[in-house]
Each structure stands twice: as structure tokens, then as C-alpha cells.
Amino acid sequence: MITRECACRHQVAAQLLLSPKILLSFNPYAPFKEGDEALAEVLRNLEETQGIMDQVLQNQLHENYDMLRSRREEISQAADSALLRRLDPRYIKQVAQYSISAQGLRQKVTASAMVARSTHLWQRAMQADNETVSVASDDAQSEESAEIELDGDIELDDTASALSVHTGGSDAVTV
């Protein structure tokens, strides 16, 4: 049974709900904006990590992006500018679900992009280390080759009839 006090509260609530000031301040498009910003960030991250993120994961996340973008277009086309449509709970729920899904996808893509970038940086660092070791190894091999060539020159000079030794001055000693 509805008491008089309860009926008054419902009447006040109904009046507040139908108040033009409250109706105008209610903006169901704010979640659209949040969802759109999240999707824009998702696309940016997908573009930036293309080639360094696991391709299967990249494709799955991109498919999720495309599905949400399509869903956004469907919701927008179904909505008309009538004020009552804005207050339709089903419409509000669709907009809210779009925004929540877009923000969830943004979190997944951001986390995956961070892992991919970190892995890529480690791979580049290891490659740089390997190149440094390779350069050092090449330098050592070059020094060994030079010593071998130098030894070969001396042996050739030893087999020659005379070996010249320079003693730092202008004098040369022939053996």
C-alpha cells in the first residue's frame, strides 16, 4: 500500500525528472565522447606497435577495435535527436556499454603495447650487445691477422739475404 509520504516523494522525483533544467543537463553523449577517445587511443597504439607486437594478438585486438567502431556507428544511426530517445533506458545502456567496452579495450591494448615495446627494446639491446661482441671479435681477429702478417714478413725477411733492423735513430743495422 502506498502511503501519502511515499506518494509525495515519487511526485517530487517525477517533477524533478521532468524539469527542463535537469533534462538539459543530462547528456548521454558524454559516454560516447569517452568511448571515442578510448578508441582513438586504441588505434594509435595499434599503429605504433604494428610489426613489434605478436601478430595474432595484434589481429585480435584490431578485430575488437573494428567491432566496437561498427557498434558505435549502429548506436549513432539508431539514435535520433528526440529528447525522449535520450532518456530511453535501452539507449542509455547501449551508450554506456559502448563506452565501457572501449575503455576496457584501451586497457588491454595499452598493456599489450607496453609488453611488446619492452620486449622489442630488450631484443634491440641484445642485438646491440651481440654486434658489440662481434665488432670486438672482428677487431681481435684483425689484430691476430696483422700479427700473423707481421710474423710472415719477418720470416720472409729472415729467408732473405739480409734483415734490416732499425734502432730508433737514423742508423740501420744489417744482419
The set of residues, in sequence order, having a beta carbon less than 8 Å from that of 58 and lying 6+ positions away, is 46, 49, 50
Distance CA 18, CA 22 (A): 7
Instruction: Give the E-state strand segments of the chain in sequence order.
Output: 164-166, 172-174
C-alpha cell at 38: 578510448
Q: Quote the CA–CA distance of 105 and 41 in Å, as a whole number.
A: 10
pLDDT of residue 118: 95
- Quick one: pLDDT at residue 12? 47
- Provide the residue-wise pLDDT of the chain in tens; the chain has 175 residues: 445 554 444 454 445 444 444 444 556 678 889 999 999 999 999 999 999 999 999 999 999 999 999 999 988 877 665 555 667 788 888 888 999 999 999 999 999 999 999 999 999 999 988 887 666 566 656 666 555 554 554 444 444 444 444 444 545 444 4
pLDDT given for residue 57 in this prediction: 96
User: pTM of the prediction?
Assistant: 0.59
Task: Assign residue 171 a region (left: φ > 0; alpha: ψ between -120 and 50; beta: otherwise).
Answer: beta
